[in-house]
Amino acid sequence: MTQLAGRRCKPCEGGTPRLSAAEARALLRDTPGWRLDEPGGTISKVYPFRNYYETMAFANAVAFVAHREDHHPVMIVGYRQCEVRYTTHAISGLSENDFICAAKVDRLFGTPGEDTEPSQRP
């Protein structure tokens, strides 16, 4: 588990600089399984589940984290998977908050950084 999951998000204002590509790649190493979708713009990860109920329970747990951190992802919810995408809209790019929340979502899933098949999940 990375130390990012134990941190809290800080408010980002329009004057807050977005992360450089090098900074984003460095933080990506602390969030295994997440990918940089656009250079410096978005990170995402797809989480697999056995069924829709588990998928929705996870999506609701992510929503609770988002509410507590006041940092909200885009989620694409399907029958057996949920894709989570982070970016910081206020700065039109990535901030450390995106990676903090990514680590917290991994902690929710219970297998940080692993691409585990649904049948292999506890």
Q: How far apart are the first and last CA of the chain?
A: 18
Here the CATH number for the domain that contains residue 21 is: 3.30.1360.20
pLDDT tens per residue across span 37-82: 876 689 999 999 999 999 999 999 999 999 999 999 999 999 999 9
**If pLDDT is split at 50, 70 and 90, which confidence band does 122 have?**
very low
pLDDT in tens, 79-110: 999 999 999 988 989 999 999 999 999 999 88
The pTM (predicted TM-score) of the whole model is 0.84
Q: What is the count of structural domains for the chain? A: 1
Distances (CA, A) of 120 to 62, 75, 108: 21, 23, 16
Decide if 20 is inside a domain.
yes
Domain that holds residue 107: 16-111
> How many Cβ atoms from other residues are within 10 Å of residue 12's Cβ?
19
